[in-house]
Amino acid sequence: MGAPLRRVLHPAGSDMSESSFSWRKMAVEDLAAVGEIAALVHPDLPERPEVFTEKLRLFPDGCFVLARGAVRLGYAFAHPWRLNDAPPLDEFLNEIPLSANCLYLHDAVVLPAARGQSAASRLIVLLRALAARRALPALALVSVYGTRRLWRRFGFAVVESPELAGKLACYGASARYMIAPLS
C-alpha cells in the first residue's frame, strides 16, 4: 500500500469515537482530499475533479466534509434537482434547475475508519433540515453497492421506471433510484 493510500485509509490519530468527528461545510481547500477519498472508494464510478468543483460552486450549502480537526473522514454532495431524474455521473450540472422539487444526494462517503457510528444518519438529519429550509418536499438519491437497506432505514423507497433505468445505467448494475418524502 502506497503512503498516500495509507494516509487516506488510516488517518493519523486513533480516536474514531462518534463524538470525535462531525459534518461541516465543505471548502475549496477540501476538494483535493475529497477527490482522493472518491478515487479510493469509487474506483469503478470515477468523476473528474472539476465535476466536484462545479457542485461546490453551484450549491455550497449541500456540500459537506466529515472531519476530525484537519483530518477528512468522508464527504457528501447534495443539490436541488427534479424528482424522478438522476443527473449523469461525471457530467456537469450546468445550473440548479428552477423547477427543482427535491434535494438530491449525489454521493456520500464515510471512510472505513469512521463507519458504523451514525455519520450517515447524522448527514440525513442535516439534509432533511436543509431541504425543509429550501421548501424542497423530498430527498432523493441513487443507491449503489447494495446500500438500499441502509437508505430504507432513513425513509427512502425505491422508485422504478423505464426512463429512470436508462439514466441509472452509468451508475452500474446495483443502482436503484430512491425517494424519501419529507412529510
Q: Which residues bind ligand COA (CB under 6 A)?
A: 41, 108-110, 115-121, 141, 143-145, 147, 149-150, 153
Residue 81's DSSP bridge partners are: 102
Decide: helix, strand or coil at residue 62.
Answer: helix
Q: Which is nearer to ligand COA, 84 or 117 (CB)?
A: 117
Query: Shortest Cβ distance from residue 32 to ligand COA (Å)?
Result: 19
Q: Closest distance between ligand COA and the C-beta of residue 153, in Å?
A: 6
Residue closer to ligand COA, measured from CB, 59 or 104 = 104
Instruction: Match 426512463 to its residue by C-alpha cell.
Output: 163
CB-nearer residue toward ligand COA: 7 or 152: 152
| Distance, CA of 3 to CA of 75 (rounded, Å) | 21
The answer to whether 166 and 85 have CB atoms below 8 angstroms apart is no
Rounded distance, CA 105 to CA 86, Å? 10
Rounded to a whole number of angstroms, the minimum distance from the CB of residue 118 to ligand COA is 4
